[in-house]
């Protein structure tokens, strides 16, 4: 599949997303055509990305003053300390607002780099080169940046749109299967909240998408990005509609935080568990009917995706899960906000529930 371009237009900015296979070679040309100019750039590179691919990017950049900061990507390093490290480099090398930060890595690297770029002199240029399936279909689109704290995930951050996003399928070939499953969680979420036809496509081709079969993987990435593009353009700052992107996430973020962001459960796996939990909660509250629920559950079964929270948690975790759900940034009362599902393609986002209701539900799920 040749180079695909998606244009994102938010209230105060527009920027392109390029999707394709082995498009790093065209980086210099893409920068030139899209008028992304800079004198100096700081490349923040995830240590997990193969060196030969990082070098390919460095060799494709305009021969200007390039600094490289190798970042050890983990939820624990999605922290103020990492932000300070990046800001120190930018300050010591006297970057200005016409210079650039380039992120090469997954969602954590992009979130940290983008947040640092938003803070430095109130904002300098930011280019995102996402290298995981999760970041290519989710975190690289929409301008959410941020870090974690001991109080929860992504509670400190800013909306800051990149100047350019380049998603090259070549990076995905170097990822372990578990990382592909991680990205698939967000692809599946996009289908469930916005596009029944896309859900049917995934139901038919899910195993081939997970095996990175071309052109099915490109189609899944493009379709997923297109769904998020429409939602972000309609509601950049998450005032209303964009909240549907949090389907499954109130549960998912609480699951991740309860396990201390450990390797036992990555973000996409938590999202898949959150999708199943939110769908079951929708079913038990007479919002979703059993046939629709079964379509989702059967899809998870067919692809052998994580689906039962009692494989990861027990009753002893209940209070901890609830405490993180109460701290979720979408809550604005003592109740817990949830995005639920009427049917595949039709979410509802203006729902609030008492802690007691959710506690009783989770108790049964944890047995």
Do 325 and 240 belong together in one domain?
A: yes
- Asked whether residue 104 falls in the same domain as residue 191, the answer is no
User: Of the residues 78, 153, 190, 253, which is catalytic?
Assistant: 253
- For 76, the token pair is 């624990």
Determine whether 205 is an active site residue. Answer: no
What whole-number percentage of the chain has pLDDT above 90? 75
Catalytic residue among 122, 263, 316, 350: 122
Is 317 one of the annotated active-site residues of the chain?
A: no
Within 47-120, strands assigned E span 65-71, 100-105
Q: Is 249 an active-site residue?
A: yes
Query: Do 110 and 205 sit in the same domain of this protein?
Result: no
Residues 140 and 269 reside in one and the same domain: no
Examine the residue annotation and report whether 186 is marked as an active-site residue of this protein: yes
Per-residue DSSP letter, 316: G
Q: Around Cβ 343, how many Cβ atoms within 10 Å?
A: 16
Task: Please give the residue range of the domain that contains residue 256.
Answer: 178-366
Same domain, 230 and 311: yes
Instruction: Note the pLDDT tens digit of each residue in 232-272.
Output: 888 888 888 989 999 999 999 999 999 988 889 998 999 99
Helix ranges, 235-329 (H): 249-258, 267-284, 290-302, 318-326
> How does residue 79 score in pLDDT terms, banded at 50, 70 and 90?
very high
- Sheet containing strand 40-46, edge to edge, reads 4-9, 14-20, 164-168, 125-130, 100-105, 40-46, 65-71
B/e letters for 310-339, b = 16+ CB within 10 Å, e = fewer, are eebbeeebbeebbebbebbbbeeeeebbbb
- Please, what sign has the CA dihedral across residues 287, 199, 297, 352? negative
Give residue 11's pLDDT.
77
Same domain, 95 and 230: no
Exactly one of 223, 228, 229, 317 is catalytic; which is it?
Answer: 228
- Residue 144 annotated to the active site: yes
Number of domains the chain is built from: 2
Give whole-number Cα distances, 76 to 178, 246, 257, 263, in Å. Answer: 19, 22, 11, 11
Place of tokens 């040309």: 29
Residue of 243, 249, 276, 317 with catalytic role = 249
User: Which one, of 163, 141, 332, lies nearest residue 222 by Cα?
Assistant: 141
- Domain CATH number, residue 338: 1.20.1090.10
Active site residue 97: no
* Annotated catalytic residue, options 153, 242, 299, 317: 242
- Whether 149 and 242 map to the same domain: the answer is no
Catalytic residue among 75, 148, 189, 246: 246
The 10s digit of each residue's pLDDT in 93-135 is 999 999 999 999 999 999 999 999 999 999 999 999 999 999 9
Last residue of a domain, one of 174, 199, 221: 174
247 backbone dihedrals φ, ψ, rounded to 5°? -55, 125
State the average pLDDT over residues 212-231. Answer: 93
CA dist 149 → 66, 218, 270 (Å)? 31, 35, 18
79 preceded by a cis bond (ω within 30 of 0): no
Closest Cα partner for 218 from 11, 22, 15? 22
Q: Which two tokens stand for residue 357?
A: 């209701």
User: 135: which DSSP letter?
Assistant: I
23 shares a domain with 128: yes
Task: Give the bridge partners for 7, in sequence order.
Answer: 16
254 and 295 belong to one structural domain: yes
Same domain, 47 and 170: yes
* Token representation of residue 192: 């469930």
Q: Give the list of residues 6+ apart from residue 102 with CB closer than 8 angstroms, or none.
A: 41, 42, 43, 44, 57, 61, 113, 126, 127, 128, 129
Q: Is the dihedral of CA 347, 228, 245, 160 positive or negative?
A: negative
- Is residue 84 located within the same domain as residue 207? no
Domain final position from 148, 174, 200 = 174
Q: Are residues 297 and 345 in the same domain?
A: yes
Catalytic choice (229, 267, 299, 317): 267
Marked catalytic residue, from 144, 153, 223, 229: 144
Average pLDDT, the chain: 93
179, 186, 269, 365: the active-site residue:
186
Whether 267 is a known active-site residue: answer yes
Tell me the mean pLDDT in the region 62-71: 90
Closest CA relative to residue 166, chosen from 293, 56, 242, 240: 56
> pLDDT at position 352, please?
92
Nearest 5°: the CA angle 331, 334, 337 is 35
Catalytic residue among 179, 238, 256, 292: 238
334 counts as catalytic: no
Report, in this order, helix, strand and coil percent for the chain, each rounded to 5. Answer: 50, 20, 30
pLDDT digits (tens, 9 = 90+) for 3-45: 888 999 887 788 999 998 888 888 888 888 887 888 899 999 9
CATH number for the domain spanning 128: value is 3.40.50.1970
From 174, 202, 224, the end of a domain falls on: 174
pLDDT of residue 1 exceeding 50, the answer is no
């Amino acid at each position: 599949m040749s180079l695909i371009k998606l244009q994102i237009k938010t209230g105060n900015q527009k920027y392109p997303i390029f999707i394709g296979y082995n498009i790093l070679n065209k980086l210099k040309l893409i920068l030139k055509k899209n008028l992304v100019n800079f004198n100096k750039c700081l490349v923040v590179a995830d240590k997990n990305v193969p060196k030969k691919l990082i070098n390919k990017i460095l060799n494709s950049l305009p021969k200007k003053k390039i600094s490289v900061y190798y970042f050890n990507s983990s939820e624990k390093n999605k922290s103020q300390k990492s932000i300070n490290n990046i800001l120190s480099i930018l300050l010591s090398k006297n970057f200005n607002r016409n210079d650039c930060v380039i992120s090469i890595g997954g969602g954590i690297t992009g979130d940290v780099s983008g947040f640092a770029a938003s803070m430095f002199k109130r904002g300098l240029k930011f280019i995102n080169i996402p290298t995981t399936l999760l970041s290519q279909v989710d975190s690289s689109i929409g301008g959410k940046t941020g870090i974690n704290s001991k109080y929860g995930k992504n509670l400190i951050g800013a909306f800051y749109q990149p100047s350019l996003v380049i998603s090259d399928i070549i990076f995905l070939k170097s990822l372990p299967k578990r990382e592909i499953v991680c990205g698939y969680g967000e692809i599946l979420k996009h289908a469930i909240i916005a596009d029944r036809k896309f859900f049917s496509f995934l139901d038919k081709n899910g195993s081939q998408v997970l095996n990175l079969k071309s052109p099915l993987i490109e189609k899944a990435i493009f379709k997923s990005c297109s769904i998020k593009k429409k939602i972000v353009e309609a509601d950049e700052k998450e005032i209303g509609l964009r909240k549907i992107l949090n389907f499954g996430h109130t549960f998912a973020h609480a699951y991740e935080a309860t396990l201390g962001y450990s390797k036992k459960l990555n973000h996409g796996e938590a999202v898949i568990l959150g999708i199943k939990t939110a769908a079951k909660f929708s079913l038990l509250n007479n919002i979703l009917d059993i046939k629709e629920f079964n379509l989702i559950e059967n899809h998870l079964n067919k692809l052998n995706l994580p689906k039962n929270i009692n494989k990861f948690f027990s009753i002893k975790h209940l209070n901890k899960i609830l405490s993180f759900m109460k701290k979720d940034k979408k809550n604005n009362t003592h109740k817990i906000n949830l995005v639920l599902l009427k049917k595949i393609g039709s979410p509802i986002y203006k729902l609030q529930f008492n802690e007691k209701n959710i506690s009783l539900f989770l108790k049964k799920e944890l047995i």
